[in-house]
Chain A
Amino acid sequence: MRTFLLSITFLLSSLWAVSSTTPETEQPKHETTSHSEEFNAGHMIIDHIVDSHEWHVASFGHTHFTIPLPIILIDEGKLLVFSSAKFHHGEESYQGYKIESDRKAGRGKIVKVIPETMETDKTASRPLDLSITKTVVGIFITFILLLIVFFQVAGAYKRNAGRAPKGLQSLLEPVILFVRDDIAEPSIGKHYKRFMPFLLTLFFFIFFSNLIGLFPFFPGGANVTGNIAVTLVLAAFTFAITTFIGNRSYWLHIFNPPGVPWWLKFPFPLIPIIELTGVFIKPFVLMVRLFANMTAGHIIVLGFMSLIFIFANMNPALGYGVSPVSVLFSVFISLLELLVAFIQAYVFTMLSALYFGMATEEHVHSSESSH
């Protein structure tokens, strides 16, 4: 009896919700223009993922509190430095430049304007943009945090020499030992100490950047590791180190792998070409894996949050109704993102250690055919 009443109630309330969202055909459709900013989920998500020249901290009604970031341009030999506040959130041009607002033509980038207008000068080339953008400030924040934390831990080791660790030192010691004993030493072997500074820096930079990117408030929320340029540089470091420390045996295995039939190497060097593309593809995959994981996580959380506003646009009651579900899912995904933050840092560092190990491997062949 009770389940029957519950199911009838559920059916009737869902029918009511659906019927009250069908558009009224008698009224002319002018509601959207009076409401000046119709919520567009796709635009909101993209604007929160990409880099920008100002840091939007909070909005209270119609007052926005943003931090303007310095803009540094080099154009035909001239260096220009000014604050992005001169652009007035992209509404004015300054000294012949403006922030592009066209979503299809490089939105957010700095372009030259046709003088006396606000139109983009499509024939001119863009200036070299070395500005301190939101992502760069995010990198600085991570870097300062790393310095503070690790100088404190190093000082604690000096002061507490021989005694049990306490405080921040005891929090970080298991993680540092984890990087040494489970990542560096098994992958690299005897000479792992050479690579420990790089691997530790890589692991903690990626881990802290991932975590800081999950905060919704300032100083968090800058999508640092979700920016493909940042992950490109990290992967480039791994590639550079692997290339420069590769020993003779490593390059031999790439260009003349032992145990491979001669006809795959001689007239057309098929296997060497495949191995050479592998040398470039492995760091490329590192870059894409970290970038895609972090960006996808942010998009999912932002998507669940915009679900509330999408439903609210149809009917305010639906907006309130979907809020608990949406918030619950966002919390769940954010917890998953904490795990993913650690796992992605671990996988990046472990694969880098593996590549270093493969590059410095002392290979002893018992016989060619046994390889």
Chain B
Amino acid sequence: MSLLTTLLQVAADLAPIAKMGAALGAGIASIGAGIGIGNIGRGALESMARQPESTGDIRSNMIVAAALIEGVAFFAIVVCLLVVFI
């Protein structure tokens, strides 16, 4: 434990670690967005395959849901940008 505190005292400026944290955060947010939007795509394509005549309705709702999930992912991006630039 004292080794850790000594190391941290030496590396008094934690800015590089903060930047690494920001990059990791952006990456993890992308994983979340990818999984979420992939699920939406899967559900949309399966339902379009079951009932081709409702393709138009399903497509619009799919795009709306994808935009909402992307909004959440962009929150994470904005927080990471704040960490890097402020």
Contacts and interface: CB of A to CB of B under 8 A. Distances in A.
A289 B75 CA distance: 8
Contacts, number: 31
B57 to A, nearest CB: 10
Contacts of B78: 288, 291-292
A350 B71 CA distance: 14
A347 B77 contact: no
A10 B4 CA distance: 47
Given A182-B60, A292-B77, A292-B78, A343 B67 contact: yes
Contacts of A57: none
A292 B73 CA distance: 10
Interface string B72-86: 001101100000000
How many chain B residues sit at the interface, stated as a range, is 10 to 19
Contacts of A293: 70, 74
Nearest to B71: A289
Nearest to B74: A292
B18 interface: no
A182 B71 CA distance: 21
28 contacts: A182-B60, A285-B71, A285-B75, A288-B71, A288-B74, A288-B75, A288-B78, A289-B67, A289-B70, A289-B74, A291-B78, A292-B74, A292-B75, A292-B77, A292-B78, A293-B70, A293-B74, A296-B74, A296-B77, A343-B63, A343-B67, A344-B67, A346-B63, A346-B64, A347-B64, A347-B67, A347-B68, A350-B64
Interface of B: 60, 63-64, 67-68, 70-71, 74-75, 77-78
